[in-house]
């Protein structure tokens, strides 16, 4: 197939995502409606499943530029299908995870050059990326914007220009998904984004490239990992829905959806600059930056909570302990 220059394809991908998502919004107002509940961060019914718009745009344009578009498509298609079905109605978690393991196996077979002992660990990590990006998709524009910046970084750093088409598609989607969102990406979008990031890393030229680029994912993966660890330490049921991710608690403390998304974008951008300028050293520093950002968020929430409780809060805490 004749290749078309990247820039026109990016413009086409963005335009297609803009149009497709608008059409999905108009047609998903009933069967795909997300009704707010006590775990929601939104207050009005909003259609979900809009991620299908940027997936279709990406798929149609990738066919004209990537030497083997089926390689990526074979991994992402099962995830998109099961995610779409889950957005439409409930799919058991066991079935979803089996599909994720299938996608991981396909990705490893096509992009991984790994010793046999590492394959199970890589498969689990691959499914973790899929689920963590899904967990983080709880505020308007957060995952779509942050993933777009991450994919742009990976496209340059790992010399994988294919991902620019997904970046462009996400920009078109963000017209509808930025706060206040008119449509959510749903599982169909978030799981495909997590897998796309994982594919890009797995397809790194060398292991050194992979480990150097990995911290670009830490603003999202770090929040998800930290929250999971925090809930395990507190003895909570980690399979039960909740609203205790750092990004959720920041929004509950008074931040707008846009402010939270911009904060995560700033941290991601800072990591991109550190890795681009300092290489492996910047990667190490980026890990510290991500940890510091989480600690800073917790400190802010602690101080905010102390302020909301008033000057006698410490005395009330001591009384409760006694």
What digits encode the pLDDT tens for the residues 215-261? 999 999 999 999 999 999 999 888 788 899 999 999 999 999 999 99
Distance, CA of 92 to CA of 96 (rounded, Å): 6
CB 212 within 8 A of CB 205: no
Is the confidence at residue 91, as pLDDT, over 90? yes
pLDDT at 5: 86
The mean per-residue pLDDT over the stretch 52-57 comes to 97
Q: Bigger pLDDT: 99 or 64?
A: 99
Residues shown for the chain? 322
pLDDT at 70: 82
pLDDT at 311: 56
pTM: 0.92
Burial class (CB in 10 A: 0-12, 13-18, 19+), 284: middle
CA-based nearest residue to 191, from 85, 80, 110: 80
The mean per-residue pLDDT over the stretch 298-312 comes to 83
How far CA 296 is from CA of 209, 246, 263, 289, 290, in Å, comes to: 29, 11, 12, 10, 10
pLDDT at 316: 46
DSSP type of residue 181: P
pLDDT at 113: 75
Is the confidence at residue 264, as pLDDT, over 80? yes
Average pLDDT, the chain: 91
CA 55, 181, 99, 115 torsion-angle sign: positive
CA-based nearest residue to 64, from 4, 8, 6: 4
Distance, CA of 322 to CA of 318 (rounded, Å): 6
The mean per-residue pLDDT over the stretch 47-54 comes to 96
What digits encode the pLDDT tens for the residues 101-152? 999 999 999 987 777 788 999 999 999 999 999 999 999 999 999 999 999 9
Q: What angle do CA 299, 249, 265 make, to 5 degrees?
A: 80
């Amino acid at each position: 197939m004749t290749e078309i220059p990247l820039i026109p394809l990016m413009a086409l991908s963005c335009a297609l995502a803009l149009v497709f998502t608008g059409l999905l919004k108009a047609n998903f107002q009933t069967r795909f409606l997300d009704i707010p509940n006590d775990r929601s961060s939104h207050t009005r019914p909003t259609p979900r499943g809009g991620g299908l718009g940027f997936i279709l745009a990406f798929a149609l344009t990738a066919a004209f530029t990537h030497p083997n578009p089926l390689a990526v498509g074979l991994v992402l298609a099962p995830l998109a299908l099961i995610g779409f079905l889950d957005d439409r109605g409930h799919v058991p978690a066991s079935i979803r995870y089996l599909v994720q393991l299938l996608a991981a196996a396909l990705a490893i077979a096509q992009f991984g050059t790994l010793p046999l002992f590492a394959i199970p660990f890589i498969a689990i990590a691959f499914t973790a990326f899929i689920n963590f990006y899904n967990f983080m998709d709880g505020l308007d524009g957060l995952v779509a914007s942050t993933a777009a910046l991450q994919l742009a970084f990976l496209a340059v750093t790992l010399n994988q220009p294919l991902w620019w088409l997904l970046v462009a598609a996400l920009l078109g989607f963000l017209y509808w998904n930025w706060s206040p969102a008119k449509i959510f990406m749903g599982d169909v979008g978030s799981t495909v984004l997590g897998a796309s990031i994982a594919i890009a890393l797995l397809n790194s030229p060398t292991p050194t490239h992979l480990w150097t680029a990995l911290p670009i994912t830490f603003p999202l993966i770090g929040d998800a990992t930290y929250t999971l660890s925090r809930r395990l330490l507190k003895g909570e049921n980690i399979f039960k829905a909740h609203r205790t991710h750092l990004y959720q608690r920041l929004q509950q403390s008074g931040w707008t959806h846009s402010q939270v998304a911009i904060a995560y974008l700033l941290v991601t951008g800072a990591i991109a600059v550190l890795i681009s300028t300092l290489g492996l050293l910047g990667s190490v520093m980026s890990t510290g930056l991500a940890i510091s950002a989480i600690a800073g968020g917790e400190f802010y929430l602690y101080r905010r909570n102390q302020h909301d409780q008033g000057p006698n809060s410490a005395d009330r805490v001591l009384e409760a302990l006694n």
